[in-house]
Amino acid sequence: MARRDLPKGVHRVRRRLAGGGSNWHFYVWRGGPRFWTGQERCPIDPDFFIAFAAAAERPKPVEYMTPQMVDDFLSSAEMPKADRTRRDYRLWALRFADEFKDDPAAMFEERESRAEVNDWRARWKHSPKQYDYAGTVVTRILNWARDDAGKIRDHHCERFRKVYQADRADIVWTPADREAIDALAPLWVRRILTAACETGLRPGDLIRLSRSHIEATPKGRRIKVRTNKRKRTATIPVTPAMATLIDSTPKDRMLILVNASGRALTEHRASEGLRQWRDKAELSGDLRLQDARGTAATRLLNADLSLAEIASHMGWSVRHAAAVIEHYARVSPDESDAVLTKLARAKGAEA
């Protein structure tokens, strides 16, 4: 049957299925309600025309398409505040908008829409982290459209099953790793790793660490900084190694860490710079800048912070903080006895 034999105004969209093949979705008009789904491009089933007639009796609302919903979300207060997260959300939101560009936002009120979103996410099933992230962004957009914007009555894309599991408790920068970097890397890279291992700050907080964050205390100094990710104020004792790094910073420079040219770092450059010298030092490819947080947990324990304080600073559970420190002691034989003794004492205090 030719396209002109479809009822006037009917909008047709082809959807590919994750397992192969495709379905055709038919809407009363572009942006209107869906009234039929099937594998035929031009159905001749009488029920098709009956369903169309029933749906066409509904009053035609103002069209509100999925791309418009995504655009509205991207300019809303619901968008995350951190720059890196905003970029990631924008990337996945635009992918979602492109996939469902011919569909009205109201389609997500239908139960079947969950399967369609899962079919779309399945393109990234080779990467569990991306697969989960796609679902997270879609859920947040639709929650906003339902709860804040009032653009849809409900949706069926909540509580997607997570498949990505990350446990990096066994990945830490040991003294031997740090010595390997110190033997090869330029000063600006060595300073990044030292600051990360001594403070436990994330890359986004490390790159903006400045003299204004250093405060004097009755027994020494501390770093007081409002973190990017959790928007909490972190108070970190300045360890001897961190004190040396701060004191060696040129007096006319506010930033503690800079790039090779003396300019401000980006998160990517800080992480990538360390990765390049990690590879040159032939260290494990699993090591990343953020894995210095495990080393920092041990440094903070040695600085007499409680397990609860360390866990709160890192955004971990007390159990995870203890597991990370215990692993560090196992892979750092020179420090094992002292660290394990302090860990046992800290666990006893938390009990």
To the nearest whole percent, how much of the chain has pLDDT over 70?
A: 95
φ, ψ of residue 100 in degrees (nearest 5): -110, 35
Domain ranges of the chain: 3-56, 66-148, 175-350
Average pLDDT, the chain: 88
For residues 242 and 222, what is the distance between their CA atoms, to the nearest angstrom? 10
Kindly tell me if the per-residue pLDDT of 340 is higher than 50. yes
pLDDT band at 169 (very low <50, low <70, confident <90, very high): low
Q: What is the pLDDT at residue 3?
A: 46
Strands (E), 107-150: none
Report whether 320 contacts 171 (CB < 8 A): no
Range with the lowest mean pLDDT among 135-144, 221-230, 264-273, 334-343? 334-343
- Predicted TM-score (pTM) of this structure: 0.58
pLDDT value, residue 2: 42
Which band of pLDDT confidence, cut at 50, 70 and 90, is reported for residue 120? very high
Tens of pLDDT, residue by residue over 7-49, are: 888 888 888 777 778 889 898 877 677 899 988 989 989 899 9
Could you tell me the fold of the domain covering 175-350? hpI Integrase; Chain A (1.10.443)
Q: What pLDDT is recorded for position 270? A: 95
End-to-end CA distance of the chain: give it in Å, rounded.
75
- pLDDT for residue 253: 95
Residue 165 has pLDDT above 70, yes or no: no
Pairing of strands 34-38, 214-217: unpaired
pLDDT of residue 112 exceeding 60, the answer is yes
> Kindly report the CA angle at 193 between 192 and 197, in degrees rounded to 5?
120
pLDDT band at 144 (very low <50, low <70, confident <90, very high): very high
Phi-psi region of 224 (alpha: psi -120 to 50; beta: other; left: phi over 0): beta
**Average pLDDT in the 138-167 region?**
88
pLDDT digits 0-9 by tens, 43-100: 989 899 999 988 887 765 557 899 999 999 999 999 988 787 889 999 999 999 999 9
pLDDT, residue 1, reads 38
